[in-house]
């Protein structure tokens, strides 16, 4: 078996190098408890029993930070394959759940509003769109559709 398998883990020296550049790797993020030196994380199932988009993106960010320090992977091209399947426990999204707050800048923590969410989704709007039209357009966007094959 390859020394990096079956799970992605840094050795002690590699992890110390990663921490020197990215000290935040020692912290758990967004209610995810990470196994030290890895990208493997767990959540409290009794609280929110799903990984949302921001949590998944945080895990990928952690992976990309750690990958550069794994000596066995030096000078290799890495391809990441993601399974985007959902289950019957997947959380349906509503317009009010969708990243509605600014994450940084002068508006940090303030609500974005529908026009700003529209910009994030790159949706073309008719000129002089009314609020109700905007709600309907965004409600029909694939990001807010709950699709179940169960």
Chain-centre distance for alpha carbon 148:
21
Among residues 50, 84, 118, which one ends one of the domains?
Answer: 84
- Tell me if 62 sits within 8 A of 80, measured CB to CB: no
The torsion angle over the Cα atoms of residues 43, 8, 39 and 64, rounded to 10 degrees, is -150
> Domain check: are 144 and 96 in the same one?
yes
**Residue 130 in tokens:** 């009314």
Q: Could you give the number of structural domains in the chain?
A: 2
> Domain check: are 2 and 76 in the same one?
yes
The pLDDT value recorded for residue 5 is 46
Q: How far apart are CA 63 and CA 146, in angstroms?
A: 28
> Domain check: are 70 and 114 in the same one?
no
Segments of the chain scoring below 70 in pLDDT: 1-7, 30, 44-52, 83-102, 110-112, 145-150
CA nearest neighbour of 54 among 93, 85, 11 = 93
pLDDT in tens, 122-135: 888 888 888 888 88
> Domain check: are 126 and 143 in the same one?
yes
> Domain check: are 20 and 34 in the same one?
yes
Q: What is the reported pTM?
A: 0.50
The pLDDT value recorded for residue 88 is 46
pLDDT in tens, 21-40: 999 898 877 678 888 888 88
> Domain check: are 22 and 80 in the same one?
yes
| ∠ CA 141-146-150, rounded to 5° | 150
Q: How far apart are CA 104 and CA 102, in angstroms?
A: 6
- Tell me if 68 sits within 8 A of 6, measured CB to CB: no
Q: For residue 70, what are the domain limits?
A: 1-84
């Amino acid at each position: 078996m390859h020394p990096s398998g079956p799970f992605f883990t840094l050795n002690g020296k590699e992890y110390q190098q990663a921490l020197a550049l990215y000290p935040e790797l020692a912290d758990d993020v967004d209610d995810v408890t990470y196994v030290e030196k890895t990208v493997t994380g767990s959540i409290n199932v009794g609280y929110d029993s799903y990984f949302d988009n921001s949590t998944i993106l945080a895990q990928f960010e952690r992976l990309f930070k750690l990958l550069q320090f794994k000596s066995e992977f030096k000078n290799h091209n890495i391809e990441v394959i993601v399974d985007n399947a959902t289950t019957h426990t997947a959380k349906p999204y509503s317009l009010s759940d969708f990243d509605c707050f600014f994450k940084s800048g002068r508006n940090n923590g303030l609500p974005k509003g529908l026009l700003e969410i529209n910009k994030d989704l790159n949706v073309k709007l008719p000129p002089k769109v009314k609020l109700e039209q905007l709600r309907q357009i965004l409600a029909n966007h694939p990001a807010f559709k709950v699709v179940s094959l169960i």
